[in-house]
Structure 1
Amino acid sequence: MATTTIQVPRETRDHLAELAKERGVSIGQLVADLAAEQLTAAQRAERLAADREVVRRVIGVDISDEEFEGAPDVLGNIYKIAAEKARAARGNAA
C-alpha cells in the first residue's frame, strides 16, 4: 500500500500519537479509521436518498423529496423530549 506524509502541527501529531497508543494502532491506521468514519457530501446525499426510498417502500406512500424536507424532525423532537425529561429528573433528584 502506498503511503504519504501529512503535515500537522506538533500538538496535533502528539495528540494523534496518544490516541493511537491508547487504541493499540499506528497513527496512520488511526487517521485511516477516523477518515473512514466521515462521509463525504456525496455519500451523505446517497445515504439520504436510499433512506428515503426505504421509508417510501415501508409506508407504501410515494412521498416527494420536497415533502420530506417539510416534514417535522421527529427524531430531533424525540431527543428534545428525552433531554427535557432527563433535566427534570436531575432537578428532582437534587
Structure 2
Amino acid sequence: MANTTIQVPRETRDHLAALAAERGLTLGQLVQQLAAHELTETQIAERLEADRAAARRNMGVDLADEEFDQGPDVLSNIYRIAAEKVRAARGTAA
C-alpha cells in the first residue's frame, strides 16, 4: 500500500501523535485505525439495509422501510439500558 501525506495543523498532529504513542501505534497506524471505524454515508446506508434485511428474516415479517423509520429506536434503547447497568455497577449517577 502506498503512503501519502496529509496536512493538518501542528496542534492536531501533536494530539494525534500523543494518542498514537499512548496506544503503542505509529501515527499512520492510528489514522488508519480511526478511518476504519468511521463509516461513510454509503457504508451506513448499506449497513442499515443489511440490518433491516436480517430483522425481516429473523422476525418473519416483511416491514417496509417506512415502518422501520416510524418504530422505536431499539438500538439506542439497548445502549441506554447497557449504560445504565454499567453506571449502576460502578455506583455512579446517571
The reply to whether TM is greater than 0.5 is yes
Other-structure match for 2:32: 32
Q: Equivalent residue for 2:48?
A: 48
Bigger-Rg structure (1/2): 1
**Aligned equivalents of 1:17, 1:76: Cα separation in 2:** 33
Structure 2: distance between partners of 1:25 and 1:77: 34
Which stretch has the larger CA shift, 41-50 or 67-76?
A: 67-76
Per the alignment, in what secondary structure is the counterpart of residue 19 of structure 2? helix
Structure 1's 20 and 90: CA in aligned 2 closer, same or farther, altered over 3 A?
closer
Distance, in Å, in 1 between the alignment partners of 2:68 and 2:46 is 15
State the partner residue of 2:74.
74
Give me the identity figure in percent: 62
The number of aligned residues is 88
* 1:39 CA displacement: 0.6
Any stretches of 5+ residues in structure 2 without a counterpart?
none
Paired with 2:10 and 2:53, the residues of 1 have a C-alpha distance of 46
Aligned-residue Cα RMSD (Å) equals: 2.2
Alpha-carbon distance between aligned partners in 1 of 2:30 and 2:55, rounded to the nearest angstrom:
35
